[in-house]
Amino acid sequence: MATIADQPTGAAPLQASDAVVVRFAGDSGDGMQLTGGQFTLSSALAGNDFATFPDFPAEIRAPQGTLFGVSAFQINFGSTAIDTAGDAPDVLVAMNPAALKTNVGVLKPGGLIIADEGEFNARNLDKAKYTSNPLDDDSLARWQLLKLNISQATLDAVKPFGLGNKEALRCKNMWTLGLALWMFDRDRAPLVDWLRTKFAKNPVLADANIAALNAGHAYGETAELSGPLKQYHVAPADVPSGLYRSLTGAEGIALGLVAGAQLAKLPMFFGGYPITPASAILHHLSRLKEYGVTTFQAEDEIAAICSAIGASYGGALGVTSSSGPGIALKGEAMGLAIMTELPLVIVNSQRGGPSTGLPTKTEQSDLYQAVYGRNGDAPMPVIAARSPGDAFECAIEAVRIAVEYMTPVMLLTDGYIANAAEPWAVPELGDYAPFPVEFLDHVPEGGYKPYARDEKLARRWVKPGTPGLLHRIGGIEKEVDTGHINYSPANHQVMTDLRKAKVDGVAKSIPDQSCELGAPGGKLAIVGWGSTYGPIRQAVSRARERGLDVSHIHVRHIWPLPANLGDLLRTFDQVIVPEMNTGQFKTVLRDQYLIDARPLNKVSGQPFTIAEIEAAIAGALA
Amino acid sequence: MNDMTPIVRQTTIKDWETDQEVRWCPGCGDYAILKAVQRTMPEIGSTPENTVFVSGIGCSSRFPYYMETYGFHTIHGRAPAVATGLKLANPKLDVWIITGDGDALSIGGNHTMHLLRRNLDCQIMLFNNEIYGLTKGQYSPTSRVGTNSPSTPYGSVDRPAAPCAFALGSGARFVARGFDVSKNLPEVLKAAHAHRGAAFIEIFQNCIVYNKDVFEDFAAPKGAEDRQLWLRNGDPMLFAKGTKGIALDSDALTLKVVDVIDGDWQAAGVIVHDVTNRSVAHMLVEMRFGEFPMALGVLYDDPRPTFEAELLGQNASVAAGKQADFAALLKKGQTWIVGDEVGPEL
């Protein structure tokens, strides 16, 4: 049985709250992502709103016990609207010294540390570069400390099942999860069901994990009276009624693309090449054959986009996806899609750069690449998703623009959105206006001209195989209307202007920009895009509660920008643009509107905290 | 080829010619290849609307503009990738890839390899002129050692790639060779089109500006009999009017040239060409001209299931019996209902 070696140290007990932030941290082999995922599910079933932040190393299985091998999962859940994964955890579960060392710094003062003291041996302390055991010195005095020998408790709990030592210790995460479920008054039954399904082929492992889960839960029950362990009940969030599910950004993108293809009445072709953190989109889509999805794992990023262009040329909705380095490789082919005026959706799950950068960490530093990163004058619509649920909407919007304007469209998301989960009110496809594609299948009056344009300046889509409409396209400059090769100076001027006017014209089909919070004409606008939505919204909301005159504007359409955005921004005395880059959208706004937009930048691979944005608001309005 | 393509109507060479002005240098070997293709098309049952020429970048890649079919002049080296997406989107199309030695083996080598190993049903015509023509004459990956060019003023030092050996090594199931002005070229093209799967054809093409007559040693009409070995399935590998042949050197496990006395090729041990023999194909693509004649015609032809048939077939079988209910897909996984009373829907 587990024992508490010492009475907990520390000050005030954990306060019950509308919202709680828990961070599970352990070795990459400890199953922290799985633990976090299951705890998320139990939060969903308890009716809480939530946001999660998986934070894991780029190495698949880094050497055990090392600082760089720590994998963490943070969840913020509550009875109020949750927009971020939380600035600072209330509870940190540290499965080894390295996990404690790398995560304790962000723990709220007075917060609770639950540490597996069974792992705080000389070897692991040394790997974590501790000179003395932090569980035994005063270094953790700012927090409440609960030392449990989780390893031993787990071994005891699973002893009847005759597992080897290594296998038995792998049940540690379930013991921990059991304790967490007790702390937050959660039902164990869905977890037990899940374990039975997961280990259907190995009932002994199922039983052992369930025993560990139950033991952790039982420990909470029996230890309640003697320590800092208290049970909390976080009431269900007050959200609109309806059917909900948990949705990650990668799922949102995949489902949104399929929805978009259905609304366009097109089969979808997805060409992809494995890259973190974009691969999950390929994985999801590869299981959706019955929805008219063909997935193709290409030999490289260039082949991935070129195959998608080939499929679009053939009459399917071509889609490709990657992350920064792969998007760079696709640049020339994007130009081909722009020149041949074929629809294409390019999803960029941004990560820390440049070069290989930080593959598993989030960043918003591909905005310049998205808007400007091609040779020649190569305009292309760019959309940015703010959350997993919004990624679904944005994917549909990207498909709409691509097929209505016969253009490639880039959809920006990032590592944070791709991996994070949030509750999602399941929509009805019937609520979305369809935009069925009509292929040209006969010679129009006056003869067929491949580059003749409609009122949107889009050319008609013709499938090879159609009699009477034979034509040739390519990357060489096209003659107006006919599409023949034409190098003449006047023609290039006209065609360049037409391509620009076509993409600029997309602004006519997108909604005017409004304020998320606040109203036009105030002292300060915080202008965000993409995954900074959560922390900006929370920070602005708190500042407004304190009576500060600040508004939140969040831009989905990065290019072209909403037609009224310049006028809207000019109504504010100050404009601050928080971004996880060195000021890229800020520069675009300055260039487009000649306004004094000021940057608030963070490039640490971590999302903004609410406090960081609150501080910027306070500073600006001081 | 594609046997799903019905013969809609009989076409003539005129049906395959565009009104576009051909912009190759006068005397370029590309003209002869274009004519050979236009002459071949009416004889293979294709229709212009169902035919797509996809090319990369280079002199050869202007080809689609001159064919009255659908055509896509893509970017440097990437024609195989574009063709792959096109064929997967519509497997009924008859897809021809036009490429060159730089396009297919330098910048696009990776795509060429993967197209061949996947076995996409298409024809790949590689115009090999052993030089970069459109960029004004730099040496190419197939240029011979010592090639003087603007970028190698003291002669190139790297050894050339062997296109047919590359193709076979990549897993190609059809490998053939011809040259621009050869009267046999249409016959080779027909065989390529009849092959289901990726059909790779290396066509030696005379660049009269930057690499003039580099193939003259075997392509010149005079003495051609002695220098060209035209391979035909089931026929002995004879050349020089039947006075010489190719036999197996069983000690060295290589091919050798043997004299054939009084037409008795069997006595001389001359090999009968079997297009499905992959081992012999490997030796044929490695035969060095000079010591041997230039092996031409269909070197290897042994079909396997095509990529698009396998992939789309799998899609169909996985989808079979499943209802494509998008509403159900959105609700997949663990869901819960928020209403008057909150509770899990398990």
Write down the pLDDT at residue B340. 54
Which pTM does this prediction carry?
Answer: 0.92
Q: Which tokens is A503 given?
A: 């993409």
Listed by number, the residues of chain A in 591-620 with a beta carbon closer than 8 Å to a beta carbon of chain B are none
> In sequence order, which residues have a C-beta less than 8 Å from that of residue A78 and are 6 or more positions away?
A17, A18, A19, A20, A48, A49, A50, A234, A237
> Nearest CB to A315: which of B20, B74, B90?
B90
Say yes or no for a CB contact (<8 Å) between A245 and B84. Answer: no
Contact (CB<8Å) A429/B330: yes
Contact B326 A468 (CB under 8 A): no
How confident is the prediction for chain A on average, in pLDDT? 93
Q: How far apart are CA A183 and CA A191, in angstroms?
A: 15
Phi, psi for A310 (deg, rounded to 5): -60, -40
pLDDT > 70 fraction of chain A, expressed in percent and rounded: 96
Q: Rounded mean pLDDT of chain B?
A: 94
Q: Does A385 touch chain B (CB under 8 A)?
A: no
> For tokens 């099942």, what's the residue?
A161
pLDDT tops 90 at residue B249:
yes
Helix (H, G, I), strand (E, B) or coil at A570: helix
Residue B106 DSSP one-character state:
I
The whole-angstrom separation of Cα B316 and Cα B336 is 33
Cβ neighbours of B70 in A, within 8 Å? 464-465, 470-472
Residue B75: list chain A partners with CB under 8 A: 306, 332-333, 335-336, 475
**B344 pLDDT higher than 60:** no
Q: A577 pLDDT exceeds 50? A: yes
Cβ neighbours of residue B281 closer than 8 Å, sequence gap 6 or more: B168, B175, B275, B299, B300
**Contact call for B72 and A470, based on CB within 8 A:** no
**Paired strand residues for A384:** A412
Phi, psi of B187 (to 5 degrees): -65, -40
A241 → closest Cβ in B65, B339, B343? B339
Two tokens, residue A468: 């009477």
Residue A435, CA distances (Å) to A261, A346, A400, A404, A463 in order = 9, 19, 7, 8, 18
**Cα B93 from Cα B2, distance rounded (Å):** 8
Q: Which of A209-223, A309-323, A451-465, A572-586 has the lowest mean pLDDT?
A: A209-223
State how far residue B171 is from chain A, nearest Cα, in angstroms: 15
Determine whether the interchain pair A243/B64 forms a contact, defined as Cβ–Cβ distance below 8 Å: no
Angle (CA) A198-A201-A207 rounded to 5° is 65
Run of H or E residues at A197: helix A189-198
Interval B75-121: pLDDT, tens = 999 999 999 999 999 999 999 999 999 999 999 999 999 999 999 99
B326 and A291 within 8 Å at the Cβ level: the answer is: yes
Beta strands in chain B (DSSP E): 51-55, 70-73, 94-100, 122-128, 131-132, 138-139, 174-179, 198-204, 228-231, 238-239, 244-249, 254-259, 294-301, 335-338, 343-345
Any residues with CB less than 8 A from the CB of A581 and at least 6 apart, and which?
Answer: A363, A364, A365, A367, A601, A603
Q: Is A442 on the interface with B (CB under 8 A)?
A: no
The gap from C-alpha A338 to its chain's centroid, in whole angstroms, comes to 28
Among A313, A261, A314, which residue's Cα sits nearest to residue A289?
A: A261
CB B100 within 8 A of CB B127: yes
Helices of type H across chain B: 29-40, 79-89, 101-102, 109-118, 163-169, 185-194, 216-219, 224-227, 278-286, 307-319, 326-330
Residues of A in contact with B84 (CB under 8 A): 296, 298, 303, 307, 310
**A290 in contact with B, Cβ within 8 Å:** yes
Q: pLDDT tens for residues B287-329?
A: 999 999 999 999 999 999 999 999 999 999 999 999 889 999 9
Burial of A598 (0-12, 13-18, 19+ CB in 10 A): middle
Contacts of A402 (CB under 8 A, 6+ apart): A317, A343, A344, A345, A408, A409
Residues of A in contact with B87 (CB under 8 A): 310, 314
| Inter-chain CB proximity A44 and B110 less than 8 Å | no
Question: Inter-chain contact A241–B340, Cβ cutoff 8 Å?
Answer: yes
**CA closest to B16 among chain A residues:** A470
pLDDT of residue A226: 62
| Cα–Cα dist A419/A266, whole Å | 28
- Using a CB-CB distance cutoff of 8 angstroms, which residues of chain B are in contact with residue A246? 333-334
Higher pLDDT, A25 or A79: A25
Considering only CB atoms, A45 lies closest to which of B75, B314, B336, namely: B336
A contacts of B71 (beta carbons < 8 Å): 471-474
Share of chain B above pLDDT 90, in %: 90
Q: Do A47 and B324 touch (CB under 8 A)?
A: no
In B, minimum Cα distance to A483 occurs at: B65
pLDDT at A13 over 60: no
Q: Name the amino acid, one letter, at B217.
A: D
* Cα three-residue angle B5-B8-B12, rounded to 5 degrees: 110
In whole angstroms, what is the distance from residue B163 CA to residue A108 CA? 66
B244 or A57, higher pLDDT: B244
Band (pLDDT 50/70/90 cuts) for residue B338 is confident
Centroid of chain to Cα A606: 12
Scanning every residue of chain A, which has its alpha carbon at the shortest distance from the alpha carbon of B52?
A464
Residues 6+ apart with CB under 8 A from B109: B77, B141, B166
Q: Residues A361, A351: contact at Cβ < 8 Å?
A: yes
Task: Please tell me the predicted confidence (pLDDT) of residue A227.
Answer: 66
Q: Which two tokens stand for residue A105?
A: 């710094």
pLDDT over threshold 90, residue A135: yes
* Facing residue for B89 by CB, picked from A190, A315, A467: A315
Q: What does the pLDDT read at residue A16?
A: 55
Residue of B nearest to A319 (CA): B85
Paired sense of beta strands B244-249 and B238-239, if any: antiparallel
Residue A310: its chain B contacts at CB < 8 A?
Answer: 54, 72, 81-89
Of the spans A50-54, A168-172, A548-552, B324-328, which averages the highest pLDDT?
A548-552
Confidence of residue A124 (pLDDT cuts 50, 70, 90): very high
Residue B24, φ and ψ in degrees, nearest 5: -80, 160
Mean per-residue pLDDT, B121-140: 97
Any idea which of A104-118, A160-174, A217-231, B183-197 has the lowest mean pLDDT? A217-231
Task: Kindly state whether A259 is in contact with chain B, defined as any CB-CB distance less than 8 angstroms.
Answer: yes
Q: Which of A246, A294, A303 sits opposite B88 (nearest CB)?
A: A294
Dist. CA A150–CA A147, nearest whole Å: 9
Average pLDDT on B215-235 reads 97
Has residue A275 got a pLDDT over 90?
A: yes
**Residue A313 and residue B92: Cβ atoms within 8 Å?**
no
pLDDT given for residue A6 in this prediction: 38
pLDDT of residue A403: 98
- Beta-carbon count within 10 A of B331 CB: 14
Tens digits of residue pLDDT in A478-487: 999 999 999 9
SS3 B227: helix
DSSP run (H or E) holding A621 = helix A610-621
Q: Does A455 lie at the interface with B, CB-CB under 8 angstroms? A: no
C-alpha to C-alpha distance for A247 and B154, rounded to whole angstroms: 63
At residue A495, what are phi and psi to the nearest 5 degrees? -70, -40
pLDDT 10s digits, A438-455: 999 999 999 999 999 999
What's residue A8's pLDDT?
40
Listed in sequence order, the DSSP H helices in A200-291 are 203-223, 249-263, 279-285
Interface check for A300 against chain B (CB to CB < 8 A): the answer is yes
Choose the closest CB to A239 out of B86, B314, B338: B338
B81 contacts in chain A (CB < 8 Å): 298-299, 302-304, 306-307, 310
Q: What is the pLDDT of residues A493-512, one digit of tens each?
A: 999 999 999 999 999 999 99
How far B11 CA lies from chain A's nearest CA (Å)?
Answer: 14
Q: Is the pLDDT of residue A2 over 90?
A: no
- pLDDT-derived band at A45, boundaries 50, 70, 90: confident
Q: What is the pLDDT of residues B171-206, one digit of tens each?
A: 999 999 999 999 999 999 999 999 999 999 999 999
Per-residue confidence (pLDDT) for residue B110, from 0 to 100? 98
Other Cβ atoms within 10 Å of B236 Cβ, number: 18
Least confident piece of the model among A202-206, A545-549, B94-98, B335-339:
B335-339
For residue A279 the two structure tokens come to 């691969």
Q: What does the pLDDT read at residue B39?
A: 96
Distance from C-alpha of A541 to C-alpha of A554, rounded to nearest angstrom: 14
| Contact residues, chain B, for A378 at CB < 8 Å | none
Beta strand B343-345 with A19-27 is unpaired
Rounded Cα gap, residues B57 and B202, in angstroms: 17
Q: Compare CB distances from A44 to B81, B114, B336 and report the shortest one's residue.
A: B336
Residues A332-359 have pLDDT tens digits of 999 999 999 999 999 999 999 999 999 9
- Closest chain A residue by Cα to residue B107: A302
For residues A391-396, give the mean pLDDT. 98
Task: Say which range, A176-190, A290-304, B122-136, has the weakest mean pLDDT.
Answer: A176-190
Res A9 pLDDT > 90? no
Contact A472 B70 (CB under 8 A): yes
SS3 sequence of A464-495: CCCCCCCCEEECCCECCECCCECCCHHHHHHH
What are the tokens at A254? 């995949």
Residue B22's pLDDT band, with cuts at 50, 70 and 90, is: very high
The tokens for B150 are 């603007």
C-alpha closest to that of A407 among A441, A457, A366, A449:
A457
CB contact under 8 A, B311 and A484: no
